[in-house]
Amino acid sequence: MRGVVLAGGSGSRLLPLTKVTNKHLLPVWNKPMIYYPLETLRGMGITEILIVTGGDSSGDFLKLLGNGNEFGIKLYYAYQEGEGGIADALKLAEGFVDDSKYDSKFIVMLGDNIIRGSLLSFASNFKCQPSGAKILLKEVNDPSRFGVANITNGIITDIIEKPKDPISPYAVTGIYGYDRSVFDFIKTLKPSERGELEITDVNRYYMQQGKLTYEIWEDFWSDAGTFESLALASKYIKELYNG
Ligand code: G1P
């Protein structure tokens, strides 16, 4: 399978850190944030990866990562105009996915998601799934910051983006497996109240089709898009390496 890292957005929750650079280039302990999702995808056996970025610092991704040789991967780049949201950024991966000689299913990872451990079995379980989508959930203390999935009898029955009163402790992490029908669905999507094409609406579409599977992640996972979570991720990685 091929992989896609979404690394656009304005990073407004991290201002002024993101005033002159892209959020995904900021340090998480001793490495730029974008290294972590790339390493996670590589650990899933994915070596052809599209980075979707945007804004004024997009050229810095090329300077930092080049063609991916140094990391043992092959990198491709796409440029998102404006701030249309995660599903809008994903649209730009259509040609890249259709071009794959391996599989039209693919893995998407948000560029600010930091995870410890291997997602190899997540990827191979998704590969065996005939069609549809797969998401990774994590039990958290502050679900209202995330998309939240309600599970009844082992099936996802609802997903709500940043609910005021969360219906469960299960956050939808930024790690998704999709088949290529995602692109046809995104073309029909309408912007949410905050003016973005929401990835939660994409996942709800698969849920309504009965084609959304999930796994619950027991090891460390965090996003790094707020001061709190960026500090937590850095602290965690530091302790992991330095004991
Ligand atoms: C996004 C998604 C949300 C998901 C989160 C994971 O939120 O919209 O559903 O739980 O990523 O990191 P954002 O960080 O863009 O607010």
Residue 170 has pLDDT above 70, yes or no: yes
pLDDT at res. 185: 97
pLDDT bin (cut points 50, 70, 90) of residue 243 is low
Bridge-partner residues for 171, per DSSP?
138, 148
Mean pLDDT value across residues 204-215: 98
Tens of pLDDT, residues 19-70: 999 999 999 999 999 999 999 999 999 999 999 999 999 999 999 999 999 9
pLDDT at res. 10: 87
Residue from 146, 175, 205, 232 to probe ligand 1 pocket by mutation (most atoms less than 8 Å from CB):
146
Q: Residue 137: which domain range? A: 2-242
User: Minimal CA–CA distance to 131: which of 105, 157, 151?
Assistant: 105
Is 55 touching ligand 1 by the criterion CB < 6 Å? no
Measured at the CA of 42, the angle between CA 54 and CA 4, to 5 degrees, comes to 30
Bridge-partner residues for 135, per DSSP?
176, 214
d(CA 233, CA 223): 8
Mean pLDDT value across residues 98-126: 93
**Residue of higher predicted confidence among 92 and 242:** 92
Give the chain's mean pLDDT.
96
Q: Can you give the CATH number for the domain in which 161 is found?
A: 3.90.550.10
Is 113 touching ligand 1 by the criterion CB < 6 Å? yes
pLDDT at res. 34: 98
CA 101 / ligand 1 centre spacing (Å): 30
Q: For residue 118, give both structure tokens.
A: 């291997």
pLDDT at res. 134: 98
d(CA 97, CA 184): 13
Burial of 136 (0-12, 13-18, 19+ CB in 10 A): buried
d(CA 200, CA 194): 13
Is 166 touching ligand 1 by the criterion CB < 6 Å? no
The total domain count for the chain is 1
Mean pLDDT value across residues 85-97: 96
Residue 100 has pLDDT above 80, yes or no: no
DSSP 108: E
Q: What is the pTM of this model?
A: 0.96
